[in-house]
Each structure stands twice: as structure tokens, then as C-alpha cells.
Amino acid sequence: MLDLKIDRADPQPLHEQIAAGVRRLILTRAIPTGAHLPPTRQLARALRVNRGTVVQAYARLRAEGLVEGQVGRGTVVRPATKAWRPVRHSLSWPTILGPIDQFVQNAVEVAGLFSGRANIAFAAGFPSSELYPMDRIAAITAELLETRGPELLSDGAVQGAPELRRVVAEELRCMPSEVFVVSGSQQGLSLLARVFLSPGDVVLAELPTYLGALQVFHETGARVVGLPLDAEGMDPQMLEDVLSRMPVRLLYTVPSFQNPTGASLSFERRQAVLEIASRYGVPVIEDDPYGLLAYDAEPPSTLWSLDEGGHVIYVGTCSKTLFPGLRVGWVAAPEPVVDRLLPVKLRTDLFTSPLSQAVVAAFRGSPAFGRHLDELRRVYRVRRDAMVAGLRRHCAGIDFSVPGGGYFVWARLTEGMAARDLLGRAVEEGVSLLTGDLFYPEGRGEEAIRLTFASETPERILEGTKRLGRALHRTARQEREARGPKRAPGAIV
């Protein structure tokens, strides 16, 4: 076995320690060219780590070109190239960089574990690439480059391209001057957090909520106070209770087909939330990536459209209805907020790609977008139904409600199972998922999981639920064994 040591007290993640150790052995020729690395399962056992940790370490070495993996042949050390640098005494980066923020690290590790692995993907919240309208996008891009290439490859307006702001303003029935284009709605949330929040400020949010929002709030030093939610979204009474007890800087909500629960705020509650927020003078950030993806009824009315007092800041994106790769999103807000966003955007990335914006404006502003949305709704609805049917058929030991749209099913594990334990078994079965704790600021959600149904075909979704069922069964059995044998009533011990 390899001469490798890992230190669990070291802040450097285990997979990085393993990759660093194997890299050193390869570069010092302790493992010669053409040699096989130990199978991941074997090395994981020897180091007493999860197999996924070794898989991640090998993936890193593959990406660096040090090893190659061939099906049936294992992982083999590649011949040396000039790109290989001699080993030097390297700096201790973990010491220089200081402790890792565990909250962020959890998410990074989970995401890393699943990247590039051949499994059934229930983890990431990305659209299915075979549904991209490729022909139209290719034609639009070619024409834009042909007719306006130099302009679209040059610098652009900080607030965004007028053509895209016009398209968005028309959809949201507002003025183009109230639309601010961002490089994805994640950037919109980050800019808003930086404009509004200082350390110690309170942000109210449904809990669980979108991981990326929790991270940007956390980064500013704000405190997230959670509002529990049910199938109809947050409870307005709770909102009022909290607002009457403490000063609150912002209310953040994903009211339609929420990430991670799939819940949608009912119409009555939308009105009540707006009324309460306006009475207490609290701005509302409405994050709405999924609202148009409604499968059982018309898309719900946005808070933005119901708001009469100018309290709502709307965040939209084309990541879920077109594709995430162009990085185009928008914030719609009263002009004083737009004015404050400008300098923050400028010092973040100057402006959003003019070519991306022009492509999105041309597609989203054309009748083809409506047809594309219809197609997405049809396809995702079938996938949602496949996941629901598969979970009901194969997955004893979970509880969930059926989302009316969006991407996600949020499931609660019964029988005292921990999601992290289930995750290990699920990965072994070749299924990815996200554990519920990622969607809380701290220490909750251990008994829940988020499953994405948008990224896989119905056949693979059914297969995935079957595997998940096996993983659940194994986790429950282990849990029972760990608790010890159940005593028969009246048994003498």
C-alpha cells in the first residue's frame, strides 16, 4: 500500500491531503510511470476514509494530467511531461489561508463529490442540457456575431444592455430604468447583500432556503432568522410575530416552487406577506428562478406584480429556463436601489457579457421562448411525476409532498435516519443527492434530503429511486443494528 498519511486535525480537506500525498509519490518517482494506483475502495479502507474521498483525490490527479483512468484498467500513472514540475518544499497554504469556513466548505465538498461522476444526478439544480434550444441559439449567436461582433465583444453598460432591459421590463411591466442586469441571479443576491447588509443585521428567510443566498448573507456578517414553511410557503402570522419583536433589514423569499422544498406561497399568503412587510417598512427580495416552470396550473403571480407600494426587489435569471452557462440574470428594483447597485457591480466585474445579454434578449424576446417554456413544462412535469411515482413505489421510509413546479422534491427521512448516512449509501448505489443541512444556517435539516428531478430522463429517475430505495433500506438496517436488538415485551435481560 502507498506510503500515505492523513491528518484529521489538519484543516486541509482529506481528499486534498490524499491527492497531495499521491502527487508527491508520483513526482518523486516513488510510484513509477505505468504503475497502477490502488483501487479506490482498497485505499479508502486502508486510510479509513469514505471511498468518495479517494475518488475525489484521483479525479484531481486526473485533471492535473498525472494519472489516467481507463475502464477495466484502473488508474495508471502517465508518462512524465514537461508540465511536471520538480517537487519543491511547498508553502503550507492551509496555514497561510487560515481556517476554512466550515459552512461554505460543506457545500463545496458535497458539490465536488458529485462533479464528473457517472451516477444518477439528483443533486445539482441544473437544467437538462438536451433541452437547450441549440439550433435557435446557434443561429442567433452566428447572426449577432456577423452583424454586431465588434460591439458585442467590447465593453458594455454597467446596468446592462438596453435591449435586454427592455425585454425584461416588458415581462415585468416596469420601466427599463428599473432593470439591472447581473451575471446570474447569484450575483444579483450578492450585490444586494452588499448594498443592504452590515454585520449584525437581521435577514428573515424561509428555512430551509437556497444555499447560495445563505452564503451571501453569511459573508456580510448578517444573521439569518428563519421562518418555518409548510406546503403553502411561509406563515404570515410568524412573519408578523418576528417583525413585531426585532428590527429586520430584509425579507428574502423564494415564493414559487422554492429551492429546496418545492413549496409555493399561496395567493392569500402572498397578499398577507406584502401587507405585513409594507406595514413594517421592510424591503422584500423575491428570488424567482422557477416561477415560470409551473406544471399543474398557471405560474403563480409574482410578489413583484402584486406589490403596490414599491417594496419588492425582484431577482430573475435565465439559468433554469434556458441555461446557466451564459450567466445572465436581472434585478428589478426601484431606481434608488438600482443606483446603489451600480458601483458595487462596477467593482465586482464591470459589466455582464454583452454577447450573452444580446443572445438572451433575442431569444427571450421572441415567440420561440414561449414555445420553449411549454416544452420544458411538458418534459419536467413527466419527470416530476416519474420521481413521485418512483419514490412512492421504491422508497419506504421517506415523507414528501408533490411540488407543483420547479426542480425539487424535499423528502424527510423517517425512522431516525440521518441524511449524511443515507448520502454515503446512496453514493455507493450510484445516486447523488443533497443533504438537508446545507439549506439551514446551522445544525438543522439532518433528517431531510433534496432531490432534483429536472436533470435526468424518466427512465433514469425511476432507476434512481430504485437505488435510493436500496440505500434507504441499508441505512435503516444499519441504524437499527447500531441501536441494538429490540427487546421483546416482557423479555428478561
- The label of the residue with cell 432507476 reads 463
Spatial CB neighbours of 130, under 8 Å, sequence gap ≥ 6 = none
Q: Is residue 184 a contact residue for ligand PLP (CB under 6 A)?
A: yes
Amino acid, single-letter form, for residue 409: V
Question: Burial level of 397, CB count in 10 A (0-12/13-18/19+)?
Answer: middle
Among 302, 317, 352, 432, binds ligand PLP (CB under 6 A): 317
Choose between 26 and 121: whose C-beta lies nearer to ligand PLP: 121
Beta strands in 220-328 (DSSP E): 223-230, 233-234, 250-253, 284-287, 312-317
Q: Is residue 178 a contact residue for ligand PLP (CB under 6 A)?
A: no
User: Considering only residues 210-249, where is the footprint of ligand PLP by CB under 6 A?
Assistant: 210, 212
Q: Is residue 186 a contact residue for ligand PLP (CB under 6 A)?
A: yes
Could you give the CA distance from residue 193 to residue 223 in angstroms, rounded to a whole number? 12
Could you give the CA distance from residue 323 to residue 359 in angstroms, rounded to a whole number? 12
Q: Is residue 329 a contact residue for ligand PLP (CB under 6 A)?
A: yes
- Please, what is the minimum distance in Å from the beta carbon of residue 305 to ligand PLP? 18
User: Considering only residues 127-156, where is the footprint of ligand PLP by CB under 6 A?
Assistant: none
Choose between 116 and 325: whose C-beta lies nearer to ligand PLP: 325
Stretch that binds ligand PLP, among 77-85, 153-161, 184-192, 456-464 (CB under 6 A): 184-192
Among 159, 259, 356, 357, binds ligand PLP (CB under 6 A): 259
Could you give the CA distance from residue 208 to residue 175 in angstroms, rounded to a whole number? 33
Give how many residues touch ligand PLP by CB under 6 A: 14
- Please, what is the minimum distance in Å from the beta carbon of residue 286 to ligand PLP? 10
136 neighbors 464 (Cβ within 8 angstroms): no
Beta strands in 300-385 (DSSP E): 312-317, 329-332
Choose between 31 and 331: whose C-beta lies nearer to ligand PLP: 331
Stretch that binds ligand PLP, among 24-32, 96-104, 180-188, 241-249 (CB under 6 A): 180-188
Stretch that binds ligand PLP, among 51-59, 72-80, 109-117, 181-189 (CB under 6 A): 181-189
- The label of the residue with cell 406546503 reads 231
Backbone region of residue 289 per phi and psi (left: phi > 0; alpha: psi in -120 to 50; beta: other values):
alpha
CA distances from 340 to 193, 328, 368, 489 (A): 11, 20, 35, 68
Q: How many CB atoms lie within 10 A of CB 449?
A: 28
Q: Is residue 125 a contact residue for ligand PLP (CB under 6 A)?
A: yes
- Please, what is the minimum distance in Å from the beta carbon of residue 87 to ligand PLP? 39
- Please, what is the minimum distance in Å from the beta carbon of residue 358 to ligand PLP? 18
Q: Which residues bind ligand PLP (CB under 6 A)?
A: 125, 184-186, 210, 212, 254, 259, 287, 289, 317, 319, 324, 329
